[in-house]
Structure 1
Amino acid sequence: MTNIVITGCSTGIGLETALYLKERYISVYPTARDEKDVAHLKNLGFEHAMVLDVTKPEQIAAVISQVMELEGKIDVWFNNAGYGQPGAVEDLSTAMLRAQFETNLFGLHECTLQVLRVMKAQGYGKIIQHSSVLGLISLFGRGAYNASKYAIEGLSDTLRLELMDTGISVSLLNTGPITSNFRQNAMQKLQENVDIAHSRFKEKYEANIRGTGKKVPFNLEADAVASVVYEIIAAKKPKPRYYITKATYLLGNLKRILSTSLLDKILMRVG
């Protein structure tokens, strides 16, 4: 039976992907940062759900060790864990930017490095990196998140070239708006870490907070991502990149054909 380890399964895409794959007889090892979320996963039938904070290398090693003890292999690793830190670039402290990268990029990289040792030894494997439409284009007030996702794109594109002489694939998921708690959590980070009251973007921030629950154009449910992960698992040769949602196709294609100045005008209206 094919197995997969998924990071960031407390809610949203990670949780729904774990459930979707379990129903299709994939051996799923979901992970989450908090004990209470791991307990919830176990209540849902994931006997081997595990604690994993991707910023802690020893926890990554422990997860890999347990899966190897149970299975003797790791077929697929889905680097899904991440969060968004909103705020205009001028309102972001270096510490905030560093924290964003610690989870979204450095945690992803440490997971990748550790699982690569297993996959190179076994001679095969699939690594799925959760990027975003914001790894292709940038939106106002998303500088930290944009930067982390652009970095994932560059790192993963390079890794894919370096693994061409192996049986290991690297696939990027460029997701657009997906139903989850991501936006609510991001607005909480905005209020916690940005000095909104003294920012020249105060009104824009407050409007974004008020609009947290508004319906987003082109939004899809989380199973849209889960089905792509399943497609990658089933594929003999997974594609290097998968666009998910019409927003990704639209904005990704506009970046190819429009001048930067014209695209900027459109993106200011989107943001």
Structure 2
Amino acid sequence: MSKVILITGASRGFGKIWAEAFLKRGDRVVATGRNLAAIQDLVNEYGDRVLPIQLDVNDREACFAAVNVAKDHFGRIDVLINNAGYGLFGTVEETSEQEARDQMETNFFGVLWLTQAVLPVMRAQKSGHIIQVSSYLGLITVPVLGIYNASKFAVEGLTETLASEVKAFGINVSLLEPNGYATSWSGDSAFQTESMEIYNPVKEAFQQAASTPGFFGQPEATAEAILKLVDAAQPPLRLLLGAFAYPAVKAAYEERLASFEDWKEVSEAAHGTSIKTGN
């Protein structure tokens, strides 16, 4: 049975690749973006199985309106993929107030608004799947992407909580956590803070790491994983994408657990009273 899938940021990168993958197999897609001209080729090829909607995810009212249009047009929404977002490159000290607020508006609040908008539809259906495009940088961090890291950590906390709240309504929730991919995320769609020379060594080390051969994955290779995730009867809460994500996250979590263990006695003493178990 074909699905109705709403994808934000569908005009380029992951969003457009996934939209086309769903359309090729017969699904119907609500493709949102700021630039509808970039979606026209999908409309030309797949006709009325594509519903293009111009949308700025920072506009909460527009998010609710887009969901209503999609529901009225196709009769249901089976999957929401919150994909819209961008990278902000620069150290924490370099970041201006407006740059930080803009990053959170799109990467976090845009996700929140679409999620809130689609929940009544999915609750009424007693089914649905909400997929948030986070990042492995929502689980670990790298320098020069501090505010981006923070926005994805926020998405992780929001989504894990959401999953526990809506499971009883028949709604599945998943987090996609890609490592770096060769999309425009780090290119023409990225933003740069005003540079401070003192951080040049940190940035040079970051650039060197990112220049490792094969560091960036091939975006087209993710399509099969997305199809499997959407089709899974019991989809995972988290799905890492790419060859670098798993070892990086595993190493970081092992280090955290070791640190927790080293400071365990201090942590327990800070409780203030003895903990009794059993009788």
Which residue of structure 2 aligns with residue 269 of structure 1? none
Partners of 1:51 and 1:59 within 8 A in 2: no
Instruction: Give the C-alpha shift of residue 23 in structure 1.
Output: 1.0
Q: Aligned residues: percent identity?
A: 33
For the aligned residue pairs, the C-alpha RMSD in angstroms reads: 2.4
The residue aligned with 1:195 is 194
Q: Which residue of 1 aligns with 2:149?
A: 146
For residue 111 of structure 2, what is the aligned residue in structure 1?
108
Q: Of the candidates 222, 227, 230, which is equivalent to residue 224 of structure 2? A: 227
State the partner residue of 1:265.
none
* Cα gap change, 1:91 to 1:78, in 2 (>3 Å): same
Distance 2:78 2:46 in 1: 21
Higher relative contact order (Cα pairs below 8 Å, separated by 6+ residues): 1
The residue type equivalent to 2:194 in the other structure is D
Aligned equivalents of 2:203 and 2:234: distance in 1? 43
The CA deviation string for residues 150-190 of structure 1, in whole angstroms up to 9 with x for no partner, is 0000110011111121100110001012221111136x511
Q: 1:259 to 1:208 in 2, by over 3 A?
A: closer
* Secondary structure of the corresponding residue to residue 200 of structure 1: helix
Report the CA distance shift for 1:260/1:144 in structure 2 as closer, same or farther (over 3 A).
farther
SS at match of 1:117: helix
Aligned residue among 129, 133, 137 for 1:134: 137
Per-residue displacement from partner, 1:119-138 (whole Å, max 9, x unpaired)? 11111100000010101110
* Conserved 8 A contact 1:105-1:151: yes
Tell me if the contact between 2:95 and 2:194 (Cα under 8 Å) persists in the aligned partners: no
Summarize deviations over 1:24-56 as a string: whole Å, max 9, x none.
111111111124334454345364211111111
CA deviations over 1:104-155 (Å, ceiling 9, x no partner): 0001000000000111111110000001010111001100100000000011
CA distance, structure 1, for counterparts of residue 256 and residue 163 of structure 2? 29
1:202-221 CA deviation, whole Å, 9 max, x = no partner?
46557878x8x956534322
Long gaps (5+) in structure 1: 263-271
Indicate which of 77, 80, 89 corresponds to 1:86. 89
Stretch deviating more after TM superposition (51-60 or 30-39): 30-39
**Which shifted more, 39-48 or 246-255?**
39-48
Q: How many equivalent residue pairs?
A: 256
Which moves more between the two structures, 10-19 or 45-54? 45-54
Structure possessing the higher radius of gyration over alpha carbons: 2
Please report how far the alpha carbon of residue 97 of structure 1 lies from its aligned counterpart in structure 2 after TM superposition: 0.8
